Chains A and B, each alone.
Chain A
Amino acid sequence: MQKRLLALLLCLLVGATSRAGDTPTYAALTISPALSKGANAVVRIEETTFTVTSPKTATERIRRVITVLNEEGKGYAQLVVPYDKLNKVDYIKGTLYDMFGKKASTLKASDIKDYSNTSDFSLYEDNRVKVAGVSHSSYPYTVEFEYQTTSNNMLFYTQWRPLDGEKLAVEKATFQVNMPAGMPLRYHEQLVPEKASVKQEGGQQVYQWQVKDLAPIEREPFGPAFSELVPLVRTAPASFEVQGYAGTLETWKSFGEWQNKLNQGRDIIPEATKGQILALVKDLRTPEEKVKAIYQFMQNKTRYVSIQLGIGGWQPFEASMVDSKGYGDCKALSNYTKALLEVAGIKSHYALIYAGEDDRPVLKDFPNSQFNHVVVCVPMAKDSIWLECTSQMADAGYTGSSTGDRYSLLITPDGGKLVSTPKFKAFDNIQRRTIQVKLNAQGSGVGEALTNYTGIQHEERNGVLQHYNPEEQLKWLYKNTKIPAFEIKTYNLEKVKNAPIVKEKLQLELPRLASVSGKRLFITPNLMNRWSSAPAVAETRKHEVIWPMSFHDVDSVEYEIPAGYKAESMPQPVKITTAFGEYQAQVQMKGTKLIYVRQLTMHKGRHKAEQYKELVNFLKQVSRADQQQVVLAAETT
């Protein structure tokens, strides 16, 4: 009945639309079911026009009409426009339409809220957002937003990504960039069905793109980041100017030259500190020792405070200021460290990088500002030493999960140079554990577990050591030790000096280590490193499969079993080799000892979609093998 009513309404609406002539209406029911299936909202039309007026300024105007289909899609009825000192919001307009496309209300000034957009503690950041929202009590409904921003930070051009969320569809979207004569646009296209159309219009060069009928795209487990899966056009300037600093972005080299201009003359170290540095390195022989000593000097003297000031947030404040105040952000602290090294006659480079998860690789062939962080790179005869200057506790040279295995742009005296930071292979990220357990006939035991964590696997515990007091450390260990029932009698965590290694020692009480049923003891020999989940197998896997991190785990557990018990049932040895990694586990009785050894090695990598099944099966097999039990039975005499 309801369906018929909807169909009837649809007919009436379509009729009304055709009569209305050219005026577009946004009745929700005219959306094709192919697009709305699985969607919470549908972009009806989006028009983005980016007009560069000079190397110094540009405006961006966006009109977006979006139909919200249900409660989950209501976030799309909210517009969030960030702004700061160099990016101002010219206007925001909005209109709400009901399900029939009839205008219900207009966005009022009081519907636009203004918030600070700073993260954590930041001493000075002028990042703010305007949030405009309209809402309607029944779904579906449609909102139209139109807004314009003007930017004076021409280091960044806009990027166009009309399908910018999961469970969203797009009927039509267009992107137009207007460039003044003599200023070519640089751009990078990803998954756009049609290449740019370029034409001359008046004095302007006009670039246009469009997409139509984009159905929702779903992320898959162990799949690429969402931003890799959707049409995306990135744009960048050839030449630009920010607050009086002009540069070109055509090559990495020229980007570096611009950064050099920003940094120029900001590396003066006061005489007193110079003296301290020279005294510090006087008796040190190798450059490595000197770098470490100076790095530690900087770590003891300063701390990180976020201050997003200066030339679009890209100019470090002076070394002398860091010296007197004892704090700075990543730019200031890196610039300061580089200047300190210079005092000791050691050459180093200010290095731009994208810190954090490395699922956002730098596009090597599209030089532009793709970074969010600064470190220092000290070239050495063999490997470079990378210095993370925002940490008071990091080891010199350790990059790890935050800055390892990715590109960094070195700002050399000759300009920018893109280089790779150290990779972390399975044998760099080891967790090696030996456990000895004494089990009694009541099923409980006592044990000692010694574990060495290296590379990326040491980071979490290193953080716990540095930031938590002993009470919190113990709580953390309770939370993160994966044994069904245990007490930690004593623990010891120790960072090995100047190496990415943490040693952990746990004295454990293991009540109910084995489950007792009459004369039998059931025991899962894999005591504390059980894999327990695998994603569901997908009927159709669309995207590539990504395993995010390499590691190598070795667990060996030795159980002293109570007298009078023998093994009634023992799991078979398991050995699996796949493109993703290797697994083997074996358990055997040696006299009164039950000995279990397990090794799991995984490799960071990207694989074809077809291989997803292999990964799921592998994880299932590993998980099953990890839960297998040994049954011990008391000998009845």
Chain B
Amino acid sequence: MNTNVFFRPWLVLLCLALGLSTPGFSADPFKLGQVTPEELKMTSYAPDTSAAAVVLYDLGESSFRFTKDTQLQFKRIVRIKILKKSGLDQADFLIPYYRRRDGKKEEVSNVKGFTYSLENGEMVKVKLDENAIFDEKQDANWYLKKLTMPGVKVGSVIELSYTITSDFFKLLREWEFQHRVPVKWSEYRVGMVPFFDYKHITYGGHPYHIKDAKLERKTVPVAWTDDVGLAKVDKSGSMSMSIVQYQWVMKDVPAFVEEPYLTNAKDYLSKIEFELAKVEYPEQKPVYMTGDWESFTKEMVKEEEFGGQLANATFLKKTTDGLIAGKTDSLEKVKAVLNFVKNNMRWDGKHRIYTENLRKAFDNRLGSSAEVNLVLTAMLRQAGLDANPMLVSTREHGRPVTNSPMISKFDYVISHVAIGGKNYLLDATEKDLPFGMLPLRCLNVQGWVMTGTAGKWLPLTGSERNAQLVSGNIKIQPTGEVSALLTENYQGVPALQARSAIRDKGQEAYLKEFANAGTDWVRQGVKIHNLENLQESFKKEYQLSKTGEANSADLLYISPMLTHGLGENPFKLATRLYPIDFGTPVDETYVFTYQLPQGYEVEEMPKSATSVLPGNAAKFSYVVQMTNGQLQIISKLNINKTLFDASEYGNLREFYNRLVAKHAEKIVLKKKS
């Protein structure tokens, strides 16, 4: 969008009005050197004595400038106290900034800093040398300012301030209140001008100490260029406008700690983000940037790098016609097209929504999630099917935001096709995905499907059955020798994982590795079924054996779960802060039938047991029974709920403790006397 188109006419009018008031200024909070003796003397941070450093004060302010088109100015000052040697790296700063080939850019300026330390009871101040600030080019568009504060020791307070001026007024800077070290005071101020309406989104659980908005009347300098005849004339003036001065403050924010089994840590960090919703200049019609879901969808369909690419896809017609020739059944057509795209376009591993050139991606046979699945959608449409693109937020990108439409809350595109009133969700990026199944990364609550110019949410829970069944017949010899014939059967996500493991390693290497079943066990005669036939369950069959002692024993101790016992609780830590996300339901069954050696009887065997979590969120059952002289063990685990709240962690951990204990139990066989 070109701002100038909107900008000029009203500006001329407004410039005639002169500013009226200049609000009084309090002491400049951005002024360097406001370090107190207490901060210098401080040796530990009371709320968290383990902290290696603490952010004493962090203030950011964004405001709009109108002297060079519309610009955003971001100012920041941060003061950090170093408490331990392991906190010294807090003195290293990276400031990324962006430049585009068309000349639009961000500029970092006024980088100033001091290190304050106590030496023999006196404050020593070391200035950040300008020569010690380095510039580095990261890639085509991203640059870095790098600096490290001088003279930093344990006990020092460092102070840094800088300004970033940006031509990208759509991207109002976000603010993170939480860091790897605790934060005493973190504040963000934004002076919102009447023309731009941004949505605010707050993340993380820490409450605001202050959340305030004040209306202020301000006089703002402006500059513009006017055409006078054939010449361009620079003009300047000022205008008066109402500014909403926002202020968000958090204090005593604890350090952010990451935990395992958390794919989207970013959702839990306390921060505030913005997305431009509307641009409305005086006497102009408002332009909605995101707005409601309906106009959001219309925008996307019109968008050159999204819907536009889908609309101009006649280049796929010939290929598609060839694929569906002779087919009358719609589902058959879908499958033919999906298989073609899966086998002829390689995914480059990138999560994208837009594409500059779908045709080029198709010609290269290589593309992002957007390109692979937009090709798929376009071909399905060419085949006369009701296919639509569907926006997804992948699990690592965070939970989908449904209250207000924001494109940055999505990072991935899949394809939706409706046949006979039934919805099919398709992703052609993974070769091992059976028809109708999505990869785990996409299974994140729900996605937005764009049907024509309307849209709707569809659940992304995965409709397929995820199951793993291991069954076997086992023979025990009086020497303790064990020989078993096992079958492992996988469906859904476990099958996808099993197939991908073989594809990643290569079948030969995989089999070699699989044959080595630890120091006691040997696997032989491994047969793999349905590696390529994705619609059937994936199967492995093999013999598992273990040698016995030289002589027969009076007592035989058998671990009935063989190599399949869960040896350790996956949830080791005693407490947890964040939810536990399994991604998909779990269904794991083991059925082992034992043939006992002649002349032996069961002396002891594990008792059958069941444990269930509230609301049947998870269930474990372990059944031991003797039938026709054969001993049968059935272990069954079902996780029915995929997302557990942190408050349920204790229950879940205890649930697994019981499972581990049950799996460790033994059968004792005794020689009949």
The chain A residues found within 8 Å of chain B, CB to CB, are 72, 113-116, 118, 121-124, 128, 135-138, 300-301, 303, 305, 324-327, 392-393, 466-472, 475, 478-479, 484-485, 487, 511-512, 515-520, 522, 532-536, 568-569, 619-620, 623-624, 627, 629, 631
Does residue B94 face the partner (Cβ distance < 8 Å to A)? yes
Encode contact with A along B50-87: 1 for CB under 8 Å, 0 otherwise.
11100000000000000000000000000000000110
Beyond A303-B88, A392-B88, A568-B555, whether A326 also contacts B151 by CB under 8 A is: yes
Cβ-defined contact, A469 with B52, below 8 A: yes
Cβ-defined partner of A114 (8 Å) among B139, B147, B574: B139
CB distance from B567 to the nearest CB of A (A): 6
Q: In the complex, A119 Cα to B14 Cα: how many Å?
A: 52
Q: In the complex, A135 Cα to B89 Cα: how many Å?
A: 41
The B292-325 residues at the A interface (CB cut-off 8 A) are none
Q: In the complex, A469 Cα to B345 Cα: how many Å?
A: 48
Does residue B548 face the partner (Cβ distance < 8 Å to A)? no
| A residues in contact with B506, CB < 8 Å | 72
Cβ-defined partner of B257 (8 Å) among A467, A471, A533: A471
Cβ-defined partner of A512 (8 Å) among B257, B516, B660: B660
CB distance from B591 to the nearest CB of A (A): 20
Q: In the complex, A26 Cα to B197 Cα: how many Å?
A: 60
Encode contact with A along B541-583: 1 for CB under 8 Å, 0 otherwise.
0000000000000010100000000011100111000000000
The chain B residues found within 8 Å of chain A, CB to CB, are 48, 50-52, 85-86, 88-89, 91-92, 94, 115, 126, 129, 132, 134, 136-140, 144, 146-148, 150-154, 257, 344-346, 364-366, 506, 512-513, 515-516, 518-520, 555, 557, 567-569, 572-574, 603-606, 657, 660-661, 664-668
| A residues in contact with B574, CB < 8 Å | 478, 487
- Of all chain B residues, the one with the shortest Cβ separation from A305 is B148
| A residues in contact with B605, CB < 8 Å | 517
Q: In the complex, A485 Cα to B653 Cα: how many Å?
A: 11
Beyond A471-B257, A629-B557, whether A137 also contacts B346 by CB under 8 A is: yes
Cβ-defined contact, A512 with B573, below 8 A: no
Task: State the majority secondary structure of interface residues on A.
Answer: mixed
| B residues in contact with A518, CB < 8 Å | 603-604, 668
Cβ-defined contact, A137 with B512, below 8 A: no
Beyond A137-B346, A326-B153, whether A517 also contacts B50 by CB under 8 A is: no
CB distance from A633 to the nearest CB of B (A): 9
| B residues in contact with A522, CB < 8 Å | 557, 664, 666
Given A532-B519, A568-B555, output 6 extra A-B contacts at Cβ < 8 Å: A469-B51, A485-B657, A515-B664, A515-B666, A517-B665, A534-B519
Cβ-defined contact, B664 with A512, below 8 A: yes
Q: In the complex, A631 Cα to B555 Cα: how many Å?
A: 11
Cβ-defined contact, A517 with B139, below 8 A: no
Beyond A327-B152, A485-B657, A517-B667, whether A466 also contacts B85 by CB under 8 A is: yes
Q: In the complex, A303 Cα to B574 Cα: how many Å?
A: 36
Give the interface centre of A121, A135, A325 by most chain B CB atoms within 10 Å: A325
Cβ-defined contact, B518 with A532, below 8 A: yes
Cβ-defined contact, B512 with A536, below 8 A: yes
Cβ-defined contact, B557 with A324, below 8 A: no
CB distance from A293 to the nearest CB of B (A): 17
Q: List 15 A-B contacts (CB under 8 A).
A: A115-B138, A116-B137, A123-B92, A123-B132, A123-B147, A135-B366, A326-B151, A327-B152, A466-B86, A478-B574, A515-B661, A517-B604, A532-B518, A533-B518, A536-B513
Q: In the complex, A569 Cα to B554 Cα: how many Å?
A: 11
Cβ-defined contact, A137 with B344, below 8 A: yes
Cβ-defined contact, A536 with B151, below 8 A: no
Q: In the complex, A113 Cα to B516 Cα: how many Å?
A: 43
CB distance from B571 to the nearest CB of A (A): 10
- Of all chain B residues, the one with the shortest Cβ separation from A537 is B516
| B residues in contact with A468, CB < 8 Å | 86
Cβ-defined contact, B572 with A479, below 8 A: yes
Beyond A123-B132, A326-B151, whether A484 also contacts B567 by CB under 8 A is: yes
Q: In the complex, A489 Cα to B516 Cα: how many Å?
A: 37
- Of all chain B residues, the one with the shortest Cβ separation from A40 is B506
Cβ-defined contact, B516 with A535, below 8 A: yes
| B residues in contact with A137, CB < 8 Å | 344-346, 364-366
Cβ-defined contact, B86 with A467, below 8 A: yes
CB distance from B569 to the nearest CB of A (A): 6
- Of all chain A residues, the one with the shortest Cβ separation from B566 is A484
- Of all chain B residues, the one with the shortest Cβ separation from A621 is B519
| B residues in contact with A123, CB < 8 Å | 92, 132, 134, 146-148
- Of all chain A residues, the one with the shortest Cβ separation from B569 is A485
Q: In the complex, A392 Cα to B657 Cα: how many Å?
A: 42
- Of all chain B residues, the one with the shortest Cβ separation from A568 is B555
Cβ-defined contact, B660 with A485, below 8 A: yes
| A residues in contact with B86, CB < 8 Å | 466-468
Cβ-defined contact, B151 with A325, below 8 A: yes
| A residues in contact with B94, CB < 8 Å | 121
| A residues in contact with B665, CB < 8 Å | 515-517
Q: In the complex, A36 Cα to B301 Cα: how many Å?
A: 49
- Of all chain A residues, the one with the shortest Cβ separation from B146 is A123
Cβ-defined partner of B573 (8 Å) among A324, A475, A568: A475
Cβ-defined contact, A511 with B657, below 8 A: yes
CB distance from B547 to the nearest CB of A (A): 11
Cβ-defined contact, A536 with B515, below 8 A: yes
Cβ-defined contact, A124 with B146, below 8 A: yes
Top 6 nearest A-B pairs by Cβ distance?
Answer: A137-B365, A469-B50, A326-B151, A518-B604, A623-B519, A536-B516
Q: In the complex, A475 Cα to B576 Cα: how many Å?
A: 11
| B residues in contact with A305, CB < 8 Å | 92, 148
Cβ-defined partner of A124 (8 Å) among B91, B129, B134: B134
CB distance from B243 to the nearest CB of A (A): 38
Cβ-defined contact, A392 with B85, below 8 A: yes
| B residues in contact with A627, CB < 8 Å | 519-520
Cβ-defined contact, B519 with A631, below 8 A: no
| A residues in contact with B667, CB < 8 Å | 517
Q: In the complex, A494 Cα to B364 Cα: how many Å?
A: 59
Cβ-defined contact, A484 with B147, below 8 A: no
| A residues in contact with B92, CB < 8 Å | 121, 123, 305
Cβ-defined contact, B148 with A327, below 8 A: yes
Q: In the complex, A519 Cα to B604 Cα: how many Å?
A: 8
| B residues in contact with A569, CB < 8 Å | 555, 557
Beyond A121-B94, A515-B666, A520-B668, whether A116 also contacts B516 by CB under 8 A is: no
| B residues in contact with A466, CB < 8 Å | 85-86
- Of all chain A residues, the one with the shortest Cβ separation from B572 is A478
CB distance from A37 to the nearest CB of B (A): 11
CB distance from A608 to the nearest CB of B (A): 23
Q: In the complex, A36 Cα to B355 Cα: how many Å?
A: 38
- Of all chain B residues, the one with the shortest Cβ separation from A626 is B519
| B residues in contact with A469, CB < 8 Å | 48, 50-52
CB distance from B258 to the nearest CB of A (A): 10
Cβ-defined contact, B132 with A393, below 8 A: no
Beyond A471-B257, A512-B664, A517-B666, whether A325 also contacts B89 by CB under 8 A is: no
CB distance from B514 to the nearest CB of A (A): 10
Cβ-defined contact, A326 with B139, below 8 A: no
| B residues in contact with A136, CB < 8 Å | 365
CB distance from B378 to the nearest CB of A (A): 18
Q: In the complex, A478 Cα to B570 Cα: how many Å?
A: 11
Q: In the complex, A624 Cα to B547 Cα: how many Å?
A: 12
Q: In the complex, A122 Cα to B515 Cα: how many Å?
A: 45
Q: In the complex, A116 Cα to B142 Cα: how many Å?
A: 11
Cβ-defined contact, A121 with B89, below 8 A: yes
- Of all chain B residues, the one with the shortest Cβ separation from A524 is B664
Cβ-defined contact, B150 with A326, below 8 A: yes
| B residues in contact with A535, CB < 8 Å | 516
Beyond A471-B257, A516-B665, A533-B518, whether A478 also contacts B136 by CB under 8 A is: no
Cβ-defined contact, A113 with B139, below 8 A: yes
Cβ-defined contact, B572 with A484, below 8 A: no
Q: In the complex, A515 Cα to B665 Cα: how many Å?
A: 6
Beyond A305-B148, A466-B86, A532-B519, whether A300 also contacts B139 by CB under 8 A is: no
- Of all chain A residues, the one with the shortest Cβ separation from B667 is A517
CB distance from A142 to the nearest CB of B (A): 16
